[in-house]
Amino acid sequence: MEYLKYYTLLGILLMSYYAASKLIFDKVFTTIPIVIDELYHLPQGMLYCEENFTYWDPKITTLPGLYLISTVISPFSCTTYNLRYVNLIASCINLLLFSSLLQHIYGNSSNPLKILLQAVNLTILPPLYFFSHVYYTDTLSMMFLLAYTRFCIGNSNKFLILTFGLSCVLMRQTNIAWIFMIFLHRNIDVFIKSSRVYGNIFLNMLTLRKNSLLAQETDRTKLKRYYNLNDFYIAVKYHLFTYMSTFFKLLTLSDFFFIGTQFILLLLFIIFVIINNGIVLGDKTAHQAVIHVPQIFYFLLFYGVFGLPYVLGKLKSTLKMLYYNKLLVFLFGLLIALIVHYNTLVHPYLLADNRHYTFYIWNRWFGKYSFAIYSTIPVYIFLIYSLYDNLKDQNCISFLIPYCVCTFAVLALQKMIEIRYFLVPYIILRLRFIRPSYKIVLMEFFWYLMMNIVTFYVFFTKEIYWKDFDYAQRIIW
């Protein structure tokens, strides 16, 4: 009965979502023929749609996943409308995938309406939702990442995991970081668990044989759902003495094939980087790797804006944490001040392209006032504690270490500030927040609804004229 209720609600929400999105989609199509980077994507997509694979635009920096998917519409007309329409369909699939992931996270006993409403919220996350109406890589990239994650969580068919993993990277090279995150997460989890199953002497000073049933029974009672830094420290100390021998004792055949599948994906990517002489295809000069740590702070601002209901929900406890950790807050402030002083970088595209919100944020705040990069430091510190407050009861070190490493690699090794780059790191965290109340979920829904209304209003009404184009340009994320 519960399943019937769940799938009935899902069907109603999916149809409602498609109907509303289709109206906006058609309006976007009649408003502008080409949206910024579609200048490169659309011609390339049309060539692939027409099964012409001989030409590659050197301005395109991603792998051809988006264009390969476009070949599925080749029996139909290869038009701008149809190419964009692929992303609209992908956004509907994302709604289904979000609901499936949330159902797994919260369990079948959870309220189906709350699960589905959260799935809608994640699907209409404003930057992600906007790009569901144009011919960009973001929506399809998200779709394959979600599908890959769902198959990994279910320990499903390894061939499908490999296929969807390859599809993730074909959509966007940086997706390899999230594949590596899952790979590292599973390995650290086994690394810690194996030390707790077999490492008696480091846990309770009992000296027992490794194959002793008593040892296994004693230590299995110490298995936890979430592990902290001390657990990781004990595991490192234990495995230094055993040379990782017991790691493989706890590795099941399913784990072995799962880790092996991800290892193949990582190996194939390394081969690609060597052959390509870098991660970026095409115009490498505009996307050179640099250390740019303030990107992490801009991501915190992204969390502060799009996670506002969760920030407000934990406001009182976050302020208490700040009050009781004054010395640490002061040290954080000094460290961040040094980072923003010596490592704030500005990409030329950020200053030149007034068709993105980041242009206005930078030129009317960070770039306009010399004190702006410093006066935002208290906001960064508050958001660090707020984010920790939303995660602390729901996560373990086997997730946090891989997540932090991969987020740093994706965000802090590039100069360009792009709101789209923050989507995947944020959604991963959002899926790991504590179970929200109905109030928070509804706040999130209306907050995103309002932002989408405003951003589409700006897109439809605000015109910008460039000499290179004979039609008005529009402002997007």
How many structural domains is the chain composed of?
3
Could you list the pLDDT tens digit for every one of the 477 residues in the chain?
677 888 899 999 999 999 999 999 999 999 999 999 999 999 999 999 998 999 999 889 899 999 999 998 877 889 999 999 999 999 999 999 999 999 988 876 678 899 999 999 999 999 999 999 999 999 999 999 999 999 998 777 788 999 999 999 999 999 999 999 999 999 999 899 888 887 767 777 666 565 666 556 656 666 777 888 888 998 998 898 888 888 888 888 888 888 899 999 999 999 999 998 888 887 777 677 899 999 999 999 999 999 999 999 999 999 999 999 999 999 999 999 999 999 999 988 888 889 999 999 999 999 889 899 999 999 999 999 999 999 987 778 999 999 999 999 999 999 999 999 999 999 999 999 988 899 999 999 999 999 999 999 999 999 999 988 989 999 999
* End position of a domain, from candidates 269, 288, 307: 288
DSSP, res 419: G
Tokens (6 digits) for 443:
């706040």
9-13 long-range contacts (CB < 8 A, ≥24 apart) are: 9/112, 9/113, 9/116, 10/96, 10/99, 10/116, 13/95, 13/116, 13/119, 13/120
Residue 89's alpha-carbon distances to 41, 96, 200, 244, in angstroms, are: 18, 11, 53, 46
Q: What's this model's pTM, rounded to 2 decimal places? A: 0.92
- Tell me: do 16 and 70 sit in the same domain: yes
Rg, the chain, Cα only = 24
Please give the pLDDT value at position 141. Answer: 97
Tokens (6 digits) for 219:
């230590």
Tokens (6 digits) for 311:
């920030």
- The HSE-up count of residue 132 (CA atoms within 13 Å, CB side) is 28
Alpha-carbon gap, residue 22 to 14, rounded angstroms? 12
Contact between 208 and 164 (Cβ < 8 Å): no
Please give the pLDDT value at position 380. Answer: 97
Please give the pLDDT value at position 288. Answer: 79
* End position of a domain, from candidates 260, 288, 316: 288
- Tell me: do 395 and 468 sit in the same domain: no
Q: What are phi and psi of 291, to 5 degrees?
A: -80, 120
Contact between 262 and 183 (Cβ < 8 Å): yes
- The HSE-up count of residue 260 (CA atoms within 13 Å, CB side) is 10
Which H/E stretch holds residue 259?
helix 253-276
Please give the pLDDT value at position 349. Answer: 83
Alpha-carbon gap, residue 357 to 422, rounded angstroms? 14
- Tell me: do 5 and 128 sit in the same domain: yes
Helix pair 80-106, 2-31: axis angle to 10 deg: 150
Which residue range(s) make up the domain with 47? 1-164+437-477
* End position of a domain, from candidates 288, 306, 322: 288
- Tell me: do 39 and 96 sit in the same domain: yes
Please give the pLDDT value at position 229. Answer: 87
Residue 36, sorted as left (phi over 0), alpha (psi -120 to 50) or beta, turns out to be left
Report the sign of the C-alpha dihedral through residues 349, 352, 354, 355, in that order: negative
Helix pair 176-198, 138-153: axis angle to 10 deg: 20
- Tell me: do 319 and 397 sit in the same domain: yes
Helix pair 377-391, 294-306: axis angle to 10 deg: 60
Contact between 367 and 346 (Cβ < 8 Å): yes
- Tell me: do 381 and 235 sit in the same domain: no
Contact between 50 and 78 (Cβ < 8 Å): yes
Q: What is the DSSP string of 99-114?
A: HHHHHHHH-TTS-HHH
Alpha-carbon gap, residue 34 to 24, rounded angstroms? 16
- Tell me: do 80 and 221 sit in the same domain: no
Name 66's Cβ contacts closer than 8 Å, sequence gap at least 6: 41, 45, 135, 136, 137, 140, 171
Tokens (6 digits) for 332:
């954080």
Alpha-carbon gap, residue 431 to 427, rounded angstroms? 6
- Tell me: do 242 and 156 sit in the same domain: no
- Tell me: do 378 and 295 sit in the same domain: yes
- Tell me: do 400 and 293 sit in the same domain: yes
Reference 57, options 42, 40, 71, 34; nearest CA is 40
**Which of helix, strand or coil describes residue 98?**
helix
Which amino acid, 64? P
- Tell me: do 236 and 137 sit in the same domain: no
- Tell me: do 305 and 427 sit in the same domain: yes
DSSP, res 290: -
Contact between 239 and 195 (Cβ < 8 Å): yes
Name 47's Cβ contacts closer than 8 Å, sequence gap at least 6: 53, 55, 67
Please give the pLDDT value at position 154. Answer: 77
Alpha-carbon gap, residue 264 to 410, rounded angstroms? 21
In the numeric block, the tokens 């979000």 are attached to 98
Alpha-carbon gap, residue 450 to 460, rounded angstroms? 15
Alpha-carbon gap, residue 463 to 443, rounded angstroms? 31
Which H/E stretch holds residue 390?
helix 377-391
